[in-house]
Amino acid sequence: MDILNAKIESIPRVSQKYAEILKKINVTTVGDFLFHFPFRYEDYSERIEIDSLIGGQTATIMGEISKSKLVRTWKKKMMITECYIADETGSVRAVWFNQPYVSDSLTVGKGVRLAGKVLEDKNGFYFSNPAWELSSREPTNTGRLVPVYSETEGLTSKWIRWQMQNIFKLDLEIPDPIPTEILTELHLPSIKTALQYIHFPQNETQYLLAQKRFAFQNMLTVQLASLKVKANWEKESSVKIPFQEKTIQKFTASLPFTLTNAQRKASFEILKDLEKARPMNRLLNGDVGSGKTIVAALASLQTAQAGLQTALMAPTEVLARQHFESISKLFANYNISVGLLTNAYQIVASNQPASLADGSSVISNQKIKKNNHQSPITDYQLLVTKHSQFKRTELLEKIKSGNIDILIGTHALIQKDIRFRKLALVIIDEQHRFGVGQRAFLQQQIETINDGLPGKIPHLLTMTATPIPRTLTMAYFGNLDLSLLDEMPVGRLPIVTKIIPPNKRPEVYDFVRSQVADGRQVFIIFPLVEESEKLVELKAATAEHERLSRDIFPELSLGLLHGKLKAKEKEQVMADYKNKKYDILVATSVVEVGIDIPNATVIIIEDAERFGLSQLHQFRGRVGRSQQQSYCFLLTGSHTIKAKSRLGALEKTNSGFEIAEADLKMRGPGEFLGLRQSGLPDIAMEHLGNVKLIEISRQKALALLKNSPSLSKYPLLKKELKKFATNVHLE
């Protein structure tokens, strides 16, 4: 019998009622139950004589019930069980609230083990709601390291411990997916021993060793899956896109700024990848404001110069529109047509005369005369007038015929009705914001996209402005080549960041007025759109916009941006803000990425303790995008040392990579980047900071695949990998 896949109700004493409750925590089989690991342990291992008890300590005692009674308090209508336990040294009281069944079990004369925190009142020492069990039973809930599990209504850790003990009494044969020679080499226990260690450890060393073993197993399967994805990707072929060195040099020389060394290095890595016959699969991992758009533009330029097409996907329509504006400006003097396709927009910017949907012509993007010198078009409004609106069918035809060199949009770009003529490069921006499952889907779709190039798949570049810590890239993005943008453009001043308590708020408002008087603009960020019953104390952006406009800044113009606005409404608000119609933009987290307003020099973040450090760093990156000194004020009403210490990381550094490392340690990998969606087990998540463990797991995965590329020599591991692949999504 395959015990691990047996239904949980097949275990004696697990009724159908409990089987239904266990489903709530995703436990349906015996295997699921065995791998429902404790999240902490209570140390009840040291037995103490009653006369040696000390107030405040956690202790286990053993004795006999000398007195027991059940009392009902009329005032609070509460049932209280009160017992006295005696050993040869003395007696102590224990009370249980609203657990009348305890008095039925703990009758006078019965031997009992009891564990918990020792408290003290006017009547002396006592235990409140302690764990207990009859001393005739094998220690399960007292007298040892006691595991504590995730629970749900109707399911207690005590019940889980008893059932776990019953399962181990069955003397199960549990197949181990990790080859014995690897376990021996790494001094790791077998799967059966590790399960016993993690559920019933005799000491801390045992459960730590078990955690390490299961973390290694998870990491090994992650690396195997990652390497197989990489190997399969590299079997594909793509179009070689020649390195246009002179064109690239001419383009970069025409820019009004100098590329950073990091931009140069990343661009070179990408442009050389494009020359290869196998498809690129590279992650451009950049800090906020490090200039990844220009790197993407260089790759698009090389592709367009080869007569091939590029598709750039952004997670939101606002971000897609901004990319369209930026890239249209960059290529205003090149024979390159740029299209925007979203649910709200079908637009083309081209330096070739184009026709509007109604048949009328529009001005072409050309060089304009300024002081008798040729200069590129840089004015935002002038560029907007040169965009041509198309019906979707017209734009689709232009894409299919190859008249669109660079197509920008949301994930709508991979819909089945979109056909390209020669799509050779796909760029996915802010890839983590698509969600783990979406990203996996995007890569699969890219392999089958209607690219117009039989037998080829496009090169793939994914980009993120959320710096990803090294351990996370090693563990989770192992199938991607990595390029780093860890430098800020020359001349950018570090953003001054300050934690502001409530009593300093008026000073911040005065500073805002002085900045606006100097011609600057301000962001004010709130965590919610409207009042919530659960978080009623938080300010809602809509209500606060009204209050700020009426009571604080009546002389200034305030805009409002939140996630419930339609795409065109968001676009209008951002255009008005960029064109200085508003002095202050009140917004929710929709401004986290992509919004580029060089004139904004102040950002105020309300209830800053509600956000993760990496998200706060993203918000901060909305300012400091010019040569002007910029400021970030973190407003918080929290007085806890933990909150102040966490936010203090932003005061100390402007480096997104340092902040990401701190965020990873504080919040854990599961919250950082939203990896909870991935299905990666908690125990693996908790060990993602263990660089050595990740490196060893990758080495072993490489060796296993070298010895058996299909893992046919390791059938149990192959089975584990298949199960893993259905639960965990890799790029």
Question: What residues have CB less than 8 Å from 282, skipping those under 6 apart?
Answer: 269, 270, 273, 460, 461, 462, 480, 481, 482, 483
**What pLDDT is attached to residue 585?**
95
Residue-wise pLDDT for 613-633, tens only, equals: 888 998 998 898 888 999 999
Determine the Cα–Cα distance for residues 559 and 582; give it in Å rounded to an integer: 6
Q: pLDDT-derived band of residue 539, with 50, 70 and 90 as boundaries?
A: low
Determine the Cα–Cα distance for residues 350 and 403; give it in Å rounded to an integer: 10
| Residues 518-523, mean pLDDT to the nearest whole number | 96
- Average pLDDT, rounded, for the chain: 83
Q: Hey, what domains does the chain have and what are their CATH numbers?
A: 1-40+151-173 (no CATH), 46-143 (2.40.50.140), 245-485 (3.40.50.300), 496-653 (3.40.50.300)
Determine the Cα–Cα distance for residues 470 and 454; give it in Å rounded to an integer: 37
- Where does 450-495 show beta strands of DSSP type E? 459-464, 481-485
Let me know: does 282 contact 483? Beta carbons within 8 Å.
yes
**What pLDDT is attached to residue 351?**
55
Give the CA dihedral 497, 502, 506, 509, nearest 10 degrees: 40
| Residues 575-584, mean pLDDT to the nearest whole number | 93
**What pLDDT is attached to residue 84?**
94
The count of residues in the chain is: 731
432-446, 482-496, 630-644: the lowest-pLDDT one: 432-446
Let me know: does 642 contact 609? Beta carbons within 8 Å.
no
| Per-residue pLDDT at 366 exceeds 60 | no
- What SS3 class is residue 347? strand
223-237, 295-309, 369-383, 547-561: the lowest-pLDDT one: 369-383
Burial 24-59 (b: 16+ CB within 10 A, else e): ebebebbbbbbebbbeebbebbebbebeebeeeeeb
| Residues 320-334, mean pLDDT to the nearest whole number | 89
Question: What residues have CB less than 8 Å from 100, skipping those under 6 apart?
Answer: 70, 79, 81
Residue-wise pLDDT for 146-196, tens only, equals: 899 988 888 889 899 989 988 888 878 889 999 999 999 999 999 999 999
Tell me the DSSP string of 583-613.
Answer: SEEEE-GGGSSS---TTEEEEEETTGGGS-H
| Per-residue pLDDT at 666 exceeds 50 | yes
Let me know: does 43 contact 32? Beta carbons within 8 Å.
no
Question: What residues have CB less than 8 Å from 485, skipping those under 6 apart?
Answer: 260, 262, 263, 266, 284, 285, 286, 287, 290, 291, 292, 295
| Per-residue pLDDT at 466 exceeds 90 | no
**What pLDDT is attached to residue 190?**
96
Q: Tell me which of 532 and 361 has the higher pLDDT.
A: 532
**What pLDDT is attached to residue 410?**
85
**What pLDDT is attached to residue 414?**
75
Determine the Cα–Cα distance for residues 478 and 461; give it in Å rounded to an integer: 15
**What pLDDT is attached to residue 591?**
66
- What SS3 class is residue 61? strand
Q: What are phi and psi of 429, to 5 degrees?
A: -95, 150
| Per-residue pLDDT at 510 exceeds 90 | yes
**What pLDDT is attached to residue 385?**
41
| Per-residue pLDDT at 25 exceeds 60 | yes
Q: Pairing relation of β-strands 338-341 and 346-349?
A: antiparallel
**What pLDDT is attached to residue 311?**
93
pTM summary value = 0.75
- Where does 184-308 show beta strands of DSSP type E? 281-286
| Per-residue pLDDT at 26 exceeds 80 | yes
| Residues 271-294, mean pLDDT to the nearest whole number | 91
**What pLDDT is attached to residue 210?**
94
Tokens 């504006």, residue located: 325
Question: Residue 315 is encoded by which pair of tokens?
Answer: 């997670």
208-212, 250-254, 341-345, 656-660: the lowest-pLDDT one: 341-345
| Per-residue pLDDT at 99 exceeds 50 | yes
